[in-house]
Structure 1
Amino acid sequence: MKTVIGGIGGALVLAAGMAPFAATAQDGEALLAMEWDEIVEAARGGEVNVFMWGGADNINAYVSDYIGGLLADEYGITLNRVPLTDTAEAVNIVLGEVEAGAAEGAVDMIWINGENFRTMKQGDLAWCGYVEKLPNAELVDFDNPAIANDFGTPVEGCEVPWSRVQFAFAHDTARTEEPPRTIPDLLDWARANPGRFTYPAPPDFTGAAFVRHVFIHAAGGPETLIGPFDQAKFDEVAVKAWDILNDLEPSLWREGRTYPTSITQLQQMFANREVDLFFTYDPAEVGTAVVNGIFPETAMSYGLEDGTLANTNYMVIPVNSPNKAAAMVLQNLLLSGEAQLEKAQPDVWGAATVIEPDRASDEVQAGFAALERHPSVVAIEELGQAALPELQADWTQAIEDGWIENVGN
């Protein structure tokens, strides 16, 4: 995801084929004064336009078919899923509409986190203060710092959590028996196996996360990078990080003359045996790829001994959403125990839940207890033992921009 605002024309093209939005944006203050049953009735028979990364077929199917089916059957609400390659495209649409003075917009909800959320919150582009209205919000522990803060930005009722993820690597045990399990080992492995490793070029979200792992390694650990951005500290660490990544370049796929442009391309390269290592913010993706025949059954995800980044992702409602009531109904559905359990199924998505299962029904609790992890997916408990905190958005943006200027060029 990218925070830099600019070039909204391409994003507008993505929205062109969607159903027309309501003539008048719903009054947020009026909705906040309603009871939940009244909000549901206000939403009934309407629509909700959800802008989200569209690079995973199983996630798209879960949202369009499972969630969209429930919305239609139970509330008569039509879910329009608008695929994105970069979340900033949706943020740009909202920003352009608000700057133009448009009271009503094209976007009702965005799958988001990190600097994109910070941009929306700081720019008063996010609708806030409604979360406590959602009945299923009671299933979430909003006092948990991992949920209450989005890459260091306090959530403060301006977005609703959807899933939790942690960065993981993957290898094919049939051709790489012992993969590197620390960042220093990975750098050595890449040099010893030229052409067999690469990473997507930032601003690709997952590629930028790999760069952050190297930056944290150059800093000697995350401790000195936690908290507000420190330019002097950044400059000190950046010299080391860019040297590491530039020195690595000749050992990369195609000698670093070009990089994959997306995590989807890297997934295909791993599937085609062009590279020997893959990584993802969603370890369950490896199991799904095996089930779908994209990866071989010998593919296995794993964590790093020196830790990998973990975070929560969210759904945000723009301040000029024309269908706020329908968006609230959708968010409440996404938080339901049943929807979170379905999302956690290995053959559906395998995503880690954001609710506390013991707050849900006995049936949902039993469902979570009975979940079986796909054998190609590393255990969440194992990953969690070495979870690294995400850096605040100023850090992540500076690292991304620094890579583009000092390595990518």
Structure 2
Amino acid sequence: MPKTKKTHDLKALLANSFLPTLKLSTQFSLCFALIFITLLSTASLSYANNSLKSVSTADVSTSTENIAEAKTDKNKTKNAVAEVTNANNSMTQKEWHSLEQLAKNNAVYFHAWGGDPQINGYIQWLAKRVKQEYNIQLQHVKLTDTSEAVSRVLAEKSADNHQQGQVDLVWINGENFASMAKYQLLAQGWVAQLPNFSLTNPSENEAMTRDFGLPTQGMEAPWGQASLTFYYTPIIARNQSSTTDKSSNAENLATPTVSYQNSIRHAPKNIKQLLTWAKKNPGRFTYPKPPDFLSLSFLKYALITLNQDKSEQVKSTLYQTVTPQSQDDLLPALWSFLDELHPNLWHQGQYFAASGTALQRLVGDGEINLGFTFAAAQIPASVDRYNLPENTRSFVMEDGSLSNIHFVAIPYNAANHNAAKVVANFMLSVEAQAKKQQATMWGDSTVLDVSQLSQQQQLLFSTDQQHPSTLPVNSKIIALSEPHPSWSKLISREWLKRYGAQ
């Protein structure tokens, strides 16, 4: 995901980065703009990026004012997807072909975090391919922080540069999306024009049209994702009777001749089964203690899935700033579930793991049999390092996986917006997504619904010898959108009040 820091003061970024280079008259214009921004600006959304930082309500309460409000009834809830996929925004094949012709022989300045050699290498591969296919020169403008691109576009808008912006495409998510949307710095309604956007199956995966709970309104195209993935070791390998050879049985469970489905047949497949499984296998599951990011991810997954029987109007409040009413509507189901679950956890819920690493260590040491992670690629790597048992298997819950999506966006004043669309569409191609997912290239999970692809296309996402513990490439992942960030702080605070003293 793009590296970000809190963009608390856009006017300071603007002044430090751009004012000294502008004419005096322009500086006066910017000063008036900065006064206006001072009156409006507040802390932007805080997004859980690679460092997995949690967020506070104060950071987000006003950043979303100019983004469409969360929906309040069944029809409005569907608008988050409809706004992106609206037929009025889509293009015919002929129209798209014409756009591709207009895009040829242009340059696209792609502003993206440049701190990872593997990611940089993948972008170089992208540049080579779009050059071959469309004669588009993709230039990677390496950023230390995505807020640099935000401040640049804001400066251009304040200087009345509405057509010749220097940023054609930007890698973005969370807080920076909220900031750019707030100041109306992004092109709208273009995502539905991309032919490959349909490969994400957005009508079934609403997470593709929400950025940390906020509707994208066609301003961002999904590029990659991380989903909450569970991993499991069969309990039979731990609790053999004295008449059974334990080591022999564990070996049999790990052998490739055992089918994947057979190896996870006793694992829970949804939130209700998880509670039943924990009661049948007391002490064999736990989760990290809030405010750990992974802990909050599990609790938000539970909050969403435990309230699926509520009305669409009530469920839509998950994507709004928390109110006393939404707390009363949604939190009781979570607390009731946890009250019933905790006595059956590791150490009867009196102690909790400190982090995802500690959780994995408990599985590796055989103290528990079920864990979860946002970094699915860690599981086979941990098995190979002997940190997890050989018979560990990854799976996703059938009622959904909380997903963090990262996106690309086109500024409203991009000089080469047609070429930027072509590049964004190629980023969503089967070829580019499969290449990105390769562990040797980047290892970033695809946003495509692989289960909807042809068998031949699915093979592109697999390796010649897929690691037995890896999540199968054709797994059906129902992506659950992140709730509004204000829920994270609330859940953490209230959890500590209820269970923290234990």
Residue of structure 1 in register with 2:493 after alignment: 405
**For residues 347-375 of structure 1, what are the alpha-carbon distances to aligned partners after superposition, in whole Å with 9 as ceiling and x for unaligned?**
66383452789999x98577469977542
Is 1:137 equivalent to 2:196 in the alignment?
Answer: yes
* Partner SS for 1:157: coil
Match in the other structure for 1:43:
107
Aligned to 1:351: 445
Q: How far apart are residue 159 of structure 1 and its match? A: 1.2
Give the equivalent residue in structure 2 for 1:27.
none
Structure 2 stretches lacking a partner, 5+ long: 23-95, 240-249, 251-265, 498-502
Whether 1:66 and 2:122 are equivalent positions in the alignment is yes
1:297 and 2:390 are equivalent in the alignment: yes
Whether contact under 8 Å (1:317, 1:324) holds in the other structure is no
The residue type paired with residue 79 of structure 1 is H
| Equivalent position amino acid for 1:351 in 2 | S
Aligned equivalents of 1:292, 1:37: Cα separation in 2: 50
Partners of 2:223 and 2:405 within 8 A in 1: yes
Residue 340 of structure 1 deviates from its aligned partner by: 1.9
Counterpart in the other structure of 1:214? 302
2:209 to 136, 149, 159: 149
- Contact 1:51–1:109 (CA<8 Å) still a contact in 2? no
User: Is residue 167–residue 309 contact of structure 1 (8 Å, CA) maintained in 2?
Assistant: yes
Q: TM-score, normalised by structure 1?
A: 0.62
SS at match of 1:226: helix
SS at structure 2 position matched to 1:192: coil
- Counterpart code for 2:112: V
Describe how 1:235-314 pairs up with structure 2 within 5 A.
Answer: 235-239=328-332, 241-242=334-335, 245=338, 248=342, 259-260=354-355, 265=357, 269=361, 273=365, 276=368, 277-281=370-374, 283=376, 285-287=378-380, 289-290=382-383, 295-304=388-397, 307-309=399-401, 311=403, 313-314=405-406
* Structure 2: distance between partners of 1:91 and 1:188: 47
| Aligned residue identity for 1:183 | L
Under a length normalisation based on structure 2, what TM-score does the superposition of the two structures give? 0.52
In structure 2, the partner of 1:227 is 316
CA deviations 1:225-244 (Å, max 9, x no partner) are 53345953532432453476
Counterpart Cα distance in 1 of 2:173 and 2:128: 24
Q: CA deviation at 1:65?
A: 1.8
Residues 165/211 of structure 1: CA separation in 2 closer, same or farther (3 Å cut): same
Alignment of 1:7-406 (within 5 A): 8=8, 35-43=99-107, 47-51=109-113, 63-71=119-127, 74=131, 77-79=138-140, 90=146, 94=150, 98=154, 101=158, 108-112=169-173, 120-121=180-181, 124-131=184-191, 137=196, 140=199, 144-146=203-205, 149-150=209-210, 154-163=215-224, 166-173=227-234, 182-185=273-276, 188=279, 192-193=283-284, 197-199=286-288, 201-202=290-291, 204=293, 206-216=294-304, 219=307, 221=309, 225-228=314-317, 231=323, 232-239=325-332, 241-242=334-335, 245=338, 248=342, 259-260=354-355, 265=357, 269=361, 273=365, 276=368, 277-281=370-374, 283=376, 285-287=378-380, 289-290=382-383, 295-304=388-397, 307-309=399-401, 311=403, 313-317=405-409, 319=411, 328=421, 330-345=423-438, 349=443, 351-354=445-448, 367=460, 373-379=466-472, 383-384=476-477, 387=478, 389-390=480-481, 393=483, 396-406=484-494
Residues 217 and 67 from structure 1, CA distance in 2 versus in 1: closer, same or farther, beyond 3 angstroms?
Answer: closer
Measured in 2, the distance between the counterparts of 1:142 and 1:358 equals 8
- Alpha carbons of 1:270 and 1:109: their partners in 2 closer, same or farther (altered >3 Å)? farther
CA distance in 1, matches of 2:228, 2:345: 23
Q: Are 1:164 and 1:354, in contact at CA under 8 Å, matched by a contact in 2?
A: no
Q: In 2, Cα distance between the equivalents of 1:40 and 1:207? A: 47
Given the superposition, is the C-alpha separation of residues 35 and 180 from structure 1 closer, same or farther in structure 2, using an over 3 Å criterion? closer
The one-letter code sitting in structure 1 at the alignment partner of 2:221 is V
Which amino acid is 2:390 matched to?
A: E
Distance 1:41 1:129, change over 3 A: farther
User: What is the distance in 2 between the residues matched to 1:82 and 1:250?
Assistant: 47
Change (3 A) 1:7 1:369: closer
Number of equivalences: 362
Residue type of the alignment partner of 2:373: T
Q: Distance in 2 between matches of 1:40 and 1:175?
A: 61
Identity of aligned residues (%): 16
How far apart, in 1, do the equivalents of 2:139 and 2:383 lie? 32
Equivalent in the alignment of 2:78:
none
**Alpha-carbon distance in 2 for matches of 1:266, 1:128:** 43
8 Å CA contact 2:196, 2:428 repeated in 1: yes
